[in-house]
Structure 1
Amino acid sequence: MTTKEIRQAFLDFFAGKGHQIVPSAPIVVKNDPTLMFTNAGMNQFKEIFLGEAPVKYARVADTQRCLRVSGKHNDLEEVGIDTYHHTMFEMLGNWSFGDYFKEEAIAWSWELLTGVYGIPKDRLYVTVFEGDEKEGLPKDQEAYDFWKQWIDEDRILLGNKKDNFWEMGDTGPCGPCSEIHVDCRPDAERKNKDGKALVNADDPQVIEIWNNVFMQFNRLKDGSLQLLPAQHVDTGMGLERLVRILQNKSSNYDTDVFQPLIQFISKESAIAYNQGESNEKTDIAMRVMADHIRAIAFAIADGQLPSNVKAGYVIRRILRRAVRYAYTFLGFKEPFFNKLVPILADQFDGVFPELKAQQDFVQKVILEEEVSFLRTLATGIQRFDKYVAEGNIVDGDFAFELYDTFGFPIDLTELMAREKGLTVDMDGFNRALEVQKARSRAATAVDTGDWIAVNEGEENEFTGYDSQETVAHILKYRKIKAKGKEQYQIVLDRTPFYAESGGQVGDTGFLYPASAGSQEHENSIRITDTKKENALIIHFTDEIPEGFKLQEEVKCVISKERRSDIQNNHSATHLLQAALREVLGTHVQQKGSLVNEDHLRFDFSHFAKVTDEELDRVEAIVNQKVRENIQLKEERNVPFQEALKRGVTALFGEKYGDFVRIITFDDHYSKELCGGTHVKATGQIGYFKIVSESAVAAGVRRIEAITGKAAEAFINEQNKLVATLKTLLKNPKDITRSVESLLEENSKLKKELEKNMYEKAAGFKDELAAQAEKIGAISFIARKLDFGNADAIKNLAYSLKESVDNLFLVLGNDNEGKPALTVMISEDLVEKGFHAGNIIRELAKEIKGGGGGQPFYATAGGKDSSGLEAALEKAKEIAITLAEKA
């Protein structure tokens, strides 16, 4: 069976068991502060397990693309080294939400594996939870007994809490699980050694293939467990491992999942794959590349661009790991990794069509990242070579600098060190790494308390599209602590507060007792932000007043003026995107946005700077639509597929439900899927003004703009500036020509000043040469100057070097309070071990600065001009010391 057939057989099997087949969620997670990436099939159903969303289908099955490269589910360092760990993988899963439970889940997994896929029964082992006395949890006898109906009892193994009790996190739904393992060893090996001992022992030939999780409990903040009101089934089976077994391969990478990629890499590198131990490093490199391109390509397609922060940093790190392996072991010194994207897009066409639809964009982003990193890699290698050439051992701090700044994996540093006959201080490296991790954990640590129930009721009815005020009940609240600050989170049954989503910031406002009749009531709760956590709308406040009666009705009032400004910017963003597509082309796709009360920021796919003329056209189109005062057309609960057929703009990487909301400003101009709040007519925007256009990442541009009052204030400030300039320039008829004349005159004066400086420096040459002090064989010159031109000082230093033998020159300069130092050393002294770069670093301490340079010439800048004399004195001390060596 091919991978495509194996995947489809799974989906068909569970469709036949009454399951709704649903699409994969994006690999990039939104609205969940606990996750960066989808790392398990259950992630998109988390809100159902938490009781925060209703059950739409009692039985569901899918294939979900997952990424495990951070947090406790981190397989990155094993990827490529072994044969069965991956960064991105497909998780085949079936779920029951309060419907069937252990009996059916066990029976169907056995039926599928042995009946449909034909895996021999004598190659299978299953594990069940053995219980935990400390937790007061009994053995999962129920699962054990159900398994006895299908498999010999000596193949049912008991597993501990680590292996057979699944938990979503420190708190939340959890329960015992039952894993299915397959013994892939040859028959002769299986006869010599029982496979039982190899289950959960990291044996590459005895692997876990499927996990049936039985959600029975909820873990509270204090560690205790309570029964869930409904029991659920959550299963996951790794497609890559299943394909390996069914295609009778000893490695996941030998299957048709990875072989098209690996064979292309092998052909282009002219290095054969899987040719024995002598090719182990090149085999690993090919596996790393074939694996990593999947994670990177799908993350970019789902909206996560490589960057230096958070999820973007993770993607950049994976990409650089792949490029490093290609560079080091396969000889790819030019960008190559991006060429794998078309092969991958063809493989997943019809399965995850998002990649094929954005193939060119994804490939160009990866290409730009490769070009940038190959430059960084070359710089890092030069830095390493220079470091060891100076006689340094490879200490832990330096190894960590290469890792942290230049993206070098520690194994690459160790490899380069071995080639030089050196070793790396791994203890020092690990200490530095742990310090960084601790700092990162502290910066992101959030201590979240349990929810405290206040009132009963259905959660999360959002009324903010139709009303800015609502009477509601507080359902529950909890205390959180982040970065040392305590806050409270509140959940209401009804709310007009928009929760941050889709780039639009969350609403602020007040909750106050409905009986009080005034928003200014002394016991009002000030809402500082509103966010989504899965499907839950959460209101943030710094405090809940002591006298506030939480059980009573509250009046919820948003900050209306702030909401109005946000809506102006949000609706303008829709008009902007349509204008960009009209001016630049339909390749323009949104790649990120921020909409708040002050301004809007819109990131979009485009591979060239937007010209001033194009920006003028875009701005003109948007303002024309503003003047037309187009009425908002809002459609709610439109079937998703129907919306797509109508040609609406949808975002790649966004998780849409079965029903969506369409925002239209003129059927022939702007139609988008959007959950945000908007103006009733475009005239309310007032005026739209672009204030900047820039590059964000490879293939992504950013426009920042303002509307309404902010745009009016901006224009007024510009008018005041022009008026001031006119006054200063004596009210010329042509202000532009007057400024150009001033610039021309200034340029001429600067050139004359520079000429005078050069002449002044040239006049100093003979004077300084005559003042050279003999210190042993050294001709020492130290002088404080007051030049305003660094090039003049440099020319003076080079001129003295040509005319004074054994020169050791130190010049101090104070240019309007900015101290600088210059050191020039003759070639004869350099050959005797003098080094201007090392000397300048010592001298720069006196002016509270730093610097460096070549062995014969170096410069430094600082903050303290009063230290220049001390620096010159220290230079003489250094000269005396070095004279003894010379």
Structure 2
Amino acid sequence: MTEYELKFFNKEGFTRKKCPKCGKHFWTQAEREDCGEPPCSEYSFIGDPPTKKKYGLNEMREIYLSFFEKHNHERISRYPVVARWRDDIFYSIASISCFQPWVLNGTVEPPANPLVMSQTALRFNDIDNVGKTGRHFTFFEMMAHHAFNTPKNEIYFKDETVELCHNLLLELGIAGEDVTYIEDEWAGGGNSGPCFETIVDGVELATLVFMMYEDTPSGKKQMSMQVVDTGYGLERFAWVSQGTSNAYEAVMPDVLNRLKKELNLDEDHRILGEYSKIAGMMNVESNADLKQLRERVAQRIGIPVSRLSSVTKPFEDLYAVGDHTKALTFMFNDGVVPSNVKEGYFARLLVRRTLRSLNNLGLDIPLKQILDWHISDLKKHYSELGKNRDDILKLAHVEEERYDETVKRGKRIVKRFTQEKKSNKVENLTTQDLIYFYDSHGLVPELVEEYTDLGVDIPDDFFIQVAAKHTIPDRVEAEDDIILPSGLEPTELAFYGDERRRKFKAKIVKLSDNYVILDKTFFYPEGGGQETDQGMIGGKQVTEVLKKGNIVLHRMTNVGGLEENTLVECEINWERRIQLMKHHTATHIINGAAKRVLGNHIWQAGAHKSEDLSRLDITHYASLSDAEIKKIESLANKTIKENRPIEKNFMNRNVAEEKYGFTIYQGGAVPGKDVRIVNIKNWDVEACGGTHFDYTGELDCVKIIRAKRIQDGVIRLEYKAGAALERHRMCVEKIACEVKLEHLSEEELNKLASVFSVSIEKLPKTLKRFQKEWQQNLKIITDLEDKLKIKGKYSSKYDEIPQADTQSSCEALFSDWKSQQKDLSKLKKKLMLKSEKELKTKIKSDYLSVDGVKIIRHLSHDLEVKNLNQLANSLLQENMLIILGNTSGMSANVIVASDSKYSAVEIANEICARLGGGASGNKRLAVGGGSSKKIKDLIKGYKP
């Protein structure tokens, strides 16, 4: 028997055949010759569904789940679309991704065995085909039943899997003769095995995979756990049962009908149906494929391609809108905030494609309105969508506003880019140029094409290309040059049993370089964003503690006098430990407060807890207002005063996920069979390995020092507690005294600092700098006015320097300073024009002539070297030498331009050497500098 010959096939009268068209082997009960899968056979269910009735998504899902429940499978809930339990993918791409790697590698028991589920999933590898082929989606539900077989617990495998699938199809009213099982091979993630593609009337309704092998360099190796990994496409089942012209019409009829009401579409289902049939026969990947598809459909129906396109193109946009907005509904619900990085990148990608499609259709419907329609349709089965409705719609609204701003800026950005390309004699934009515009400025290719007069060729797979660049998370591997001795027993992590132990005795099991390895330790090794403990071992200083695998290493200043296999006295730096505990506990409290103030979309994007400062990065779509910061801080301190208990327990991963949900993975993926759960009663629950207090009241108080936007979609909160907060308060008092503003509170000082976009610690130096520059700028403005003979025209408005002792006076100082910059720019421009006029006069009459070369010498003051450089270059004529000097205080610049026998760089070096400086450039143009003391005589008296 081959891997594909089953008792079930023999019992039910199936015959194994080889398809004459594609060469694949398949099993069938019918007298058919081909395998039944496109392109060997066409869709035959459109207009003629094979099921006994039509099923909507909800009914089909329930029939599937109930069927397997009746056959002893335990129903489990969907996992989030964001795969927060993994660090190698952003989104759940299939039901099996929910159980990788921990279940498949034997670390964790499956949540049920066997189990059945309908998993919401996202894929972006075919995003450009969505709406065009009739069958591609970015969002879909993979119904699945799984069995995890081990030598000690065999559930079922091939025969039972195929029999269950076949009986489900029969129960739906599909005739056995209409089903074919095509033999194939599946591989992925280092595993492989045989599989059957289940085909009905031309559509692959299910894939039945039998993971049996581990793929190694030496070949296939039998897996100890053999897994039944099935995938039944919910959308395809609904489509086949309804026989609609395409899958989109079957899957989201209510949303599509609402959109259609706003449009005057030529809804010819004969054309759309034929389009889907032929698209199913083709692998549509390029523009050429799409063109061929349209030509074949037009030829079959007997209409011009132009007529076909006029019917299909609006529907392509319509279906893309329906699919993308449904995907966004689940993404926003599960905590994704649109951004330019990580999982947020794909949300923004879908938003921008959706808005572009709506624009193509001429539909003026807010994005949030369409998402609200989806929520209304889906909340009966997915109640969480209704609960999070406000958050979902807010995210949609904010992101649409941002896109509108992007479009407004886009024209100017593209115009500038176009001019640069033209100056380099470029006639066409490349695909990389289009990717640059999208990734850096958020401009879709169609907008770029609209705003430029350069040639633009938009690749049909453009969004597949950009999505591919962002599909796999960056996995930063820490540099690790520590080589552990072999044969070491795991270090006992005693700090989890007693977080309050300051001193202890332990046995030195190994000395390695400057590291000590103990049999047990109460020192906390760096991890989870919490810095390492420090202290003493055997009277020697411990500077760092780290964990490698299951071994804890203590880095020492030196290990002299320490011996292996001896007991040593160990002592933790308790002030540091307590401070780190305060900051780590504060992180959990503030995370809970931020979620309550800002919304359920808040997720931890990073954290660091040091002795002096703690920070928490959260996902959020906008900078925080002062009121929001104050509310988060107030809520956090209220929780501290309530003295809530903090429970810390190791739990089985499945039990923790079932009890608390996937929000426990705030800090990212956590390895292992068991996870340590830190539960602040009715406030915050996270999987966390750090050290914490037993009650929130032990924290006393926490203060948010600052909040800032560190990247698109991520806000950083910085805060202090305990001794760090006391030190901070003393520092603030010192700062207030230093700037003579003792009467101001810290909040008021922060507002002053925010005027200049600096931290409060930098306020004294910043105020001094701005006041000094205010005075310097005024002097330069006055000097320039004198040179231009316009005394008082600009300087008169700066009669008195603002005192900078209130927020309004700081704003006045900053406003004056900005105004001075503008005035300086205007005055320098006027002076430049004056110099240009003087130079032009000298070119005509006031010049020195040497051997037929016209030599222009000119001295200016306080002008930009860049502008003088451009001026000299623009006025240069044949057989001319221009020598310009420019002073600014004690410094001077020399610019030489030559279109003669004299070398510009040689002359510039000669003059600058006398000024105590040097120059660089070439024969035509050179720039140099030095002291301004002798420049007047050197410039005006220079002769080659």
TM range (shorter): 0.5 to 0.7
Q: CA deviation at 1:298?
A: 1.6
* Equivalences for residues 710-859 of structure 1 within 5 A: 710-726=724-740, 753=779, 756=782, 759-760=785-786, 762-763=788-789, 789-794=824-829, 820-821=866-867
Q: Distance in 1 between matches of 2:433 and 2:621?
A: 39
Conservation of the 8 A alpha-carbon contact between 2:920 and 2:926 = no
Greater Cα shift, 8-17 or 226-235: 226-235
Of 143, 158, 181 in structure 1, the residue corresponding to residue 199 of structure 2 is: 181
CA distance in 2, matches of 1:376, 1:52: 47
Q: CA deviation at 1:338?
A: 2.8
Query: Are the structure 2 counterparts of residues 702 and 425 from structure 1 closer, same or farther at C-alpha, using a change threshold of 3 Å?
Result: closer
Q: State the AA in 2 paired with 1:251.
A: N
Match of 2:220? 225
**1:759 offset after TM fit, Å?**
2.3
Contact 2:75 2:116 in 1 (8 A): yes
Per-residue deviation, residues 590-626 of structure 1 (Å, max 9, x unmatched): 43254432213153769784325x6456545645665
Q: CA 1:216/1:520 → structure 2, altered by over 3 Å: closer, same or farther?
A: farther
Residue number in structure 2 paired with 1:259: 253
- Match for residue 96 of structure 2? 42
Partner of 1:690: 704
Please state how far the C-alpha of 1:868 moved relative to its aligned partner: 11
What corresponds to 1:33 in structure 2? 87
In structure 2, relative to structure 1, the CA distance for the partners of 1:872 and 1:401 (3 Å cut) is farther
**2:182 partner letter:** T
- Aligned counterparts of 2:396 and 2:859: Cα–Cα separation in 1: 47
Cα gap change, 1:298/1:538 in structure 2, threshold over 3 Å: closer, same or farther? farther
Match of 1:111 in 2: 167
Is 1:393 matched with 2:427?
yes
Alignment of 1:350-429 (within 5 A): 350-381=380-411, 383-384=413-414, 392-396=426-430, 398-408=433-443, 422=455, 424=457
C-alpha distance after superposition, 1:294-341 (max 9, x if no partner): 2223222212212222222232223222223333x2235x67323211
Distance (whole Å) between structure 1 residues aligned to residue 200 and residue 76 of structure 2? 28
Check the 8 A contact 2:495/2:522 in 1, yes or no: yes
Give 3-state SS (helix, strand or coil) of 1:789's partner: helix
Q: 1:455 to 1:234 in 2, by over 3 A?
A: farther
Give the deviation of 1:800 after TM superposition.
9.7
- Match for 1:592: what amino acid? Q
Residues 641/95 of structure 1: CA separation in 2 closer, same or farther (3 Å cut)? closer
Task: Give, in angstroms, the shift of residue 404 of structure 1.
Answer: 3.7
Give the C-alpha shift of residue 714 in structure 1. Answer: 2.7
Q: State the distance in 1 between where 2:485 and 2:132 align.
A: 49
Q: 1:610 aligns with which of 616, 619, 625?
A: 625
Counterpart of 2:441 in structure 1: which amino acid? F
Deviations along 1:248-296, one digit per CA (max 9) or x if unpaired, are 12311111x2222223333345555567531332221112111111222
CA offsets 1:735-773 (integer angstroms, 9 cap, x no match): 9999999999879857854762562363399xxxxxxxx
Displacement of 1:694 in angstroms is 3.7
Aligned to 1:96: 147
Give the Cα separation in 2 of the matches to 1:440 and 1:75: 13
For 1:92, what is the secondary structure of its paired residue?
strand
Aligned-partner residue type, residue 227 of structure 1? Q
Q: Does 1:707 align with 2:721?
A: yes
- TM-aligned CA distance change 1:755 to 1:519, over 3 Å: closer
Whether the 8 Å contact between 1:696 and 1:702 is mirrored in structure 2 is yes
Q: Does residue 8 of structure 1 match 2:62?
A: yes
**Equivalent AA in structure 1 for residue 353 of structure 2:** R
Does the 8 Å CA contact 1:622/1:688 hold for their aligned counterparts?
A: yes
- Residue 565 of structure 1 contacts residue 596 of structure 1 at CA under 8 Å; is this kept in 2? no
- Whether the aligned pair in 1 keeps the contact of 2:210 and 2:226 (CA below 8 Å) is yes
Residue of structure 2 in register with 1:207 after alignment: 203
Structure 1 contact 509–527 (Cα < 8 Å) conserved:
no
Q: Aligned partners of 1:49 and 1:643: how far apart in 2?
A: 17
Contact residue 626 and residue 683 of structure 1 kept, 8 A: yes
Q: TM-score, normalization: structure 2?
A: 0.59
Q: Distance in 2 between matches of 1:705 and 1:694?
A: 12
State the partner residue of 2:583: 569
- Match among 311, 320, 330 for residue 288 of structure 1: 320
Cα shift at 1:654: 9.8
CA 1:691–1:414 in 2, change beyond 3 Å: closer, same or farther? same
C-alpha spacing 1:792/1:59, structure 2 compared with 1 (3 Å) = same
- SS of residue in 2 equivalent to 1:80: coil
| Change over 3 Å in CA distance of 1:111–1:701 after alignment to 2 | same
Count of equivalent residues:
689
Aligned to 2:237: 242
Question: Quick one: which of 355, 376, 379 aligns to 1:346?
Answer: 376
Match of residue 757 from structure 2: none
CA–CA separation in structure 2 for the residues paired with 1:378 and 1:446 = 41
Q: Residue 40 of structure 1: CA displacement? A: 0.8
The 5 A counterparts of 1:12-91 are 12-46=66-100, 47-69=102-124, 74-91=125-142
Conserved? CA contact 1:302–1:654, under 8 Å: no
One-letter code aligned to 2:238: V
Change (3 A) 1:105 1:719: same
Give the residue type in structure 1 aligned to 2:404: L
C-alpha change, 1:795 and 1:560, in structure 2 (3 Å) is same
Say whether 1:127 aligns with 2:162: no
Matched, 1:466 2:497: yes
SS of 1:596's equivalent in the other structure is strand
Inter-partner Cα distance in structure 1 for 2:777 and 2:771: 10
Counterparts of 1:495 and 1:350 in 2: how far apart (Å)?
A: 50
Aligned to 1:95, the other structure's residue is in SS state strand
CA distance in 2, matches of 1:874, 1:126: 78
2:428 alignment partner AA: V
Separation (CA, whole Å) in 1 of partners of 2:494 and 2:339:
37
Amino acid at match of 1:331: G
Residue 310 of structure 1 corresponds to: 342
Structure 1's unaligned 5+ residue stretches are 129-158, 184-205, 473-489, 511-516, 531-536, 543-551, 766-785, 830-845, 848-864, 877-886
Whether the aligned pair in 1 keeps the contact of 2:193 and 2:209 (CA below 8 Å) is: yes
Deviations 1:357-409 (A, max 9, x none): 22221222222222222332344455546766858511425444334433445
**Conserved? CA contact 1:81–1:284, under 8 Å:** yes
1:441-494 CA deviation, whole Å, 9 max, x = no partner? 997597999xx999999x99997642569999xxxxxxxxxxxxxxxxx9x999
Q: Distance in 2 between matches of 1:609 and 1:84?
A: 42
Q: CA deviation at 1:60?
A: 0.4
Instruction: Check the 8 A contact 2:166/2:176 in 1, yes or no.
Output: no
Identical-pair percentage: 21
User: Which of residues 694, 698, 703 is equivalent to 1:680?
Assistant: 694
2:186 pairs, out of 145, 165, 173, with 165
Offset at 1:20? 0.8
Cα deviation, residue 106, structure 1: 0.3
Q: What are the ranges of 5 or more consecutive residues in structure 2 without an aligned counterpart?
A: 1-54, 150-154, 270-307, 507-516, 556-564, 753-762, 792-820, 844-857, 876-893, 896-914, 928-944
Please tell me the residue identity of whatever aligns with 1:573: T
Partner of 1:487: none
Q: Once the two structures are superposed, what CA deviation does each residue of 1:716-753 show, in whole Å capped at 9, x if it has no partner?
A: 43344334445999xxxx99999999999879857854
